[in-house]
């Protein structure tokens, strides 16, 4: 929808006037602002010119002479905002009592409109009201600031949430604080790291990720909370070197084996058969049909120009033919294939790309999790979440190797993952008999070092992952009112060999070890089985 004001049709009726002073009580209004819900606000150009450079510029242009689109012979301007927003905004411009804006929910639309219409004083006043809520609702303020691209406000909200007075400013060159020191500081913060507000659901996972990084002290260099994750990560890690184009093979080089040309964005020719492509894709069928007019290639064949790269088209076109599935080398290749396959509605290509994404769970589980969540791939989402929950620090979600998928995924997906991992860690700790104070539970939510305490090595991590996967699989096939029964003998260390100098003692020791492990693993398995993702 066009966000700029427009002149309505004269046939559109006015339903009701705005409240005083926007009801033209004295008959001196010279323009009408009509809200999206049909309320007419009778206002004065002189005041709007002073309050808004946007309207000052509009009123400097020649005004329409025709009476079409006018109400009471006044020029009427349709705007996108509703009655409450416009009423509050205009009261900030007029010499009347300022509106009451008690919550972030009330403030955000007014602030957005003030910014949109270049109302500097109104923007300042509403921003002050927003900042007044920092100590009560820092996450709501942060979410609103991200949605409105207000960097300084987002920073202040992040600082309040982190319990710091601004020592870790965006431009700070202060050295990173050690984990041990940060842990002792975090225990005194007003807001636990796992605090969350539903207003955060509407920001991106990248914006939530940057907030948590800032709070944990992992963002010492300058960052923008609402900028793209890719730009943020370049501040934390060196930019990887560009890789050279990879050579690829495809069977579409022979001009005698095709009756149409598909041209890539780099003008590479692919000779293919119309009928096969048309059967595979209704979208390509329409493009092929339109190519008969003015789309000739060099060999007097019709040509269709597609914006995809050579490598993407080479794989995509093979999946339109009755050929074996081509190799998808990287997740970037799978990403490009999935985008193209979805665009052209090629079902087989979508499935092949999805299978490659599933394989990527063991390479880049966080990236797969975000993509799978966004596309509603529940199986891939759950498996990736489990991989992340039991991964070690170098592959953890607090590692700065997060990809741009975060900016395309809502924050509640990352929240869901963090809560799941926190519950897994808590279940393991409680099974081991650990008593967890509130601050420790919070650290299990985000602290990348917490897994080192609960899961001391990679072998233990893989072991617990397999136990959880087994328990989850059993719960998935459980019928209604059926009791869950887990057989954990397959996980027991039967390979333990007792000393051979005393067979009876050795056997007793072996049985004791096995029974102890059976009890421990059983307790963990049943505890993890209760955790729903």
Structure-model confidence comparison of residues 220 and 306, the more confident one: 306
Regarding whether 219 and 121 lie in a shared domain, the answer is yes
Q: Is residue 10 part of a domain?
A: no
Q: Which pLDDT value is given to residue 532?
A: 86
Q: What local confidence, expressed as pLDDT, does residue 533 receive?
A: 85
More confident residue, 101 or 533: 101
Report yes or no on 142 lying in a domain. yes
Confidence of residue 64 (pLDDT cuts 50, 70, 90): low
Q: Check pLDDT > 90 for residue 298.
A: no
Structure confidence at residue 480 (pLDDT):
85
Asked if pLDDT for residue 445 goes beyond 70, the answer is yes
> pLDDT value at position 457?
67
Say if residue 90 is in the same domain as residue 125.
Answer: no
pLDDT digits (tens, 9 = 90+) for 245-274: 445 577 898 888 999 999 999 999 999 999
Those residues with Cβ within 8 angstroms of residue 489's Cβ, 6 or more apart along the chain or in another chain: 518
Q: What is the Cα–Cα distance from 507 to 62, expressed in whole angstroms? A: 100
Backbone angles phi, psi at 320, to 5 degrees: -90, -10
Q: Which of 50, 80, 104 is the last residue of a domain?
A: 104
**b/e per residue 10-30 (b: at least 16 CB within 10 A):** eeeeeeebbeebbebeeeebe
Mean of pLDDT values over 431-442: 68
Question: Do 83 and 125 belong together in one domain?
Answer: no
Same domain for 140 and 202?
yes
State residue 22's pLDDT score.
96
pLDDT at 515 over 70: no
Q: Has residue 453 been placed in a domain?
A: no
Specify whether 147 is located in the same domain as 98: no
Which pLDDT band, with edges at 50, 70 and 90, does 10 fall under? very low
Residue 9 has pLDDT above 70, yes or no: no
- Give the domain CATH number at 290: 3.30.710.10
Do 151 and 71 reside in the same domain of the chain? no
For the ranges 333-342, 432-441, 466-475, the lowest mean pLDDT is seen at 432-441
User: Given 104, 128, 154, which residue is the final one in a domain?
Assistant: 104
Mean pLDDT of 385-411: 70
65-120 confidence digits (pLDDT tens): 544 555 667 889 999 999 999 999 999 999 999 999 999 999 999 999 999 999 99
State the average pLDDT over residues 504-509: 58
Residue 326 has which token pair?
């081509």
- Say if 295 falls within a structural domain: yes
Angle at alpha carbon of residue 401, lines to 395 and 404, rounded to 5°: 130
Same domain, 217 and 171: yes
Q: Are residues 75 and 168 in the same domain?
A: no
Please check the confidence at residue 11 and state whether its pLDDT lies above 90.
Answer: no
Widest distance between CA atoms in the chain = 110
Listed range (32-36, 91-95, 239-243, 455-459) with the worst mean pLDDT: 239-243
Q: Domain range holding 286? A: 260-340
Last residue of a domain, one of 181, 203, 236: 236
Q: What whole-number percentage of the chain has pLDDT above 70? A: 73
Residue 210, in any domain of the structure:
yes
Instruction: Give the mean pLDDT of 460-486.
Output: 89
Query: Are 25 and 85 in the same domain?
Result: yes
Inside any domain, residue 11: no
pLDDT at residue 435, as a whole number = 64
Whether residue 98 contacts residue 125, with contact meaning beta carbons closer than 8 Å, is answered with yes
Look at residue 253 and tell me if it is in a domain. no
Same-domain status, 92 and 142: no
Give me the number of domains the chain comprises. 4
Task: Say yes or no: 177 and 225 in one domain.
Answer: yes
Please give the Cα distance from 182 to 213 (Å, whole number): 12
**Candidate from 160-164, 168-172, 346-350, 437-441 with smallest mean pLDDT:** 168-172
The first and second tokens of residue 16, run together, are 């009701």
What band does 454 get if pLDDT is binned at 50, 70 and 90? low
Residue 372 has pLDDT above 90, yes or no: yes
pLDDT tens for residues 201-255?
Answer: 999 998 998 898 888 776 544 456 655 555 554 444 433 333 344 455 778 988 8
Does 184 fall in a domain? yes
pLDDT of residue 161: 93
Q: Which range among 165-169, 303-307, 456-460 shows the weakest confidence by mean pLDDT?
A: 165-169
Beta-strand pair 260-263/269-272: antiparallel
Query: Which carries the bigger pLDDT value, residue 401 or residue 526?
Result: 526
> How does the average pLDDT of the chain come out, rounded?
81
Kindly report, residue by residue over 170-191, the tens digit of the pLDDT: 444 343 343 333 333 344 446 8
264 shares its domain with 297: yes
Average of per-residue pLDDT across 159-168: 72
């Amino acid at each position: 929808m066009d966000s700029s004001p427009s002149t309505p049709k004269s046939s559109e009726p006015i339903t009701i006037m705005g409240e005083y002073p926007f009801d033209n009580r004295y008959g001196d209004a010279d323009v009408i602002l009509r809200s999206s819900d049909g309320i007419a606000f009778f206002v004065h150009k002189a005041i709007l010119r002073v309050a808004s450079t946007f309207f000052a510029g509009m009123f400097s242009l020649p005004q329409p002479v025709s009476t079409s689109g006018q109400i009471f012979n006044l020029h009427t301007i349709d705007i996108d905002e509703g009655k409450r927003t416009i009423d509050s905004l205009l009261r900030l411009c007029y010499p009347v009592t300022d509106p009451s804006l008690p919550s972030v929910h009330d403030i955000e639309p007014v602030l957005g409109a003030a910014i949109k219409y270049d109302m500097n004083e109104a923007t300042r006043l509403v921003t002050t009201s927003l900042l007044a809520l920092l100590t009560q609702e820092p996450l709501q303020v942060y979410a609103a600031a991200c949605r409105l691209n207000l960097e300084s406000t987002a920073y202040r909200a992040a600082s309040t949430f982190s319990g710091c007075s601004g020592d870790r400013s965006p431009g700070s060159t202060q050295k990173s604080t050690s984990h041990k020191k940060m842990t002792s500081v975090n225990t005194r913060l007003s807001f636990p790291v796992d605090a969350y507000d539903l207003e955060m659901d509407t920001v991106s996972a990248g914006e939530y990720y940057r907030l948590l990084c800032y709070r944990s002290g992992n963002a010492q260099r300058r960052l923008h909370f609402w900028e793209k994750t890719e730009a943020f990560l370049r501040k934390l890690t060196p930019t990887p070197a560009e890789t050279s184009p990879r050579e690829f093979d495809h069977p579409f080089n022979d001009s005698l084996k095709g009756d149409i040309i598909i041209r890539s964005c780099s003008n590479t020719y692919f000779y293919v058969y119309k009928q096969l492509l048309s059967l595979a894709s209704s979208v390509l069928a329409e493009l092929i049909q339109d190519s008969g007019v003015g789309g000739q290639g060099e060999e007097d064949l019709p040509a269709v120009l597609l914006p995809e790269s050579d490598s993407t088209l080479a794989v995509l076109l093979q999946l339109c033919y009755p050929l074996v599935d081509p190799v998808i080398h990287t997740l970037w290749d799978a990403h490009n294939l999935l985008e193209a396959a979805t665009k052209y509605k090629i079902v087989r290509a979508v499935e092949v790309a999805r299978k490659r994404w599933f394989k990527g769970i063991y390479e880049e589980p966080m990236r797969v999790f975000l993509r799978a969540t966004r596309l509603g791939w529940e199986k891939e989402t759950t498996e990736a979440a489990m991989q992340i929950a039991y991964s070690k620090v170098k592959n953890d979600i607090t590692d700065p190797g997060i990809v741009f998928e975060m900016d395309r995924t809502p924050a509640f997906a990352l929240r869901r993952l963090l809560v799941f991992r926190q519950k897994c860690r808590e279940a393991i700790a409680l099974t081991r008999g650990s008593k967890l104070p509130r601050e420790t539970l919070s650290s299990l939510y985000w602290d990348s070092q917490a897994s080192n305490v609960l899961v001391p090595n990679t072998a233990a991590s893989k072991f617990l992952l397999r136990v959880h996967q087994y328990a989850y699989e059993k719960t998935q096939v459980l019928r209604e009112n059926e009791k869950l029964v887990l057989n954990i003998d397959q996980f027991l260390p039967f390979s333990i060999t007792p000393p051979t100098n005393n067979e009876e003692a050795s056997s007793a020791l072996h049985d004791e070890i096995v029974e102890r492990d059976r009890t421990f693993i059983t307790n963990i398995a049943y505890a993890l089985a209760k955790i729903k993702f």
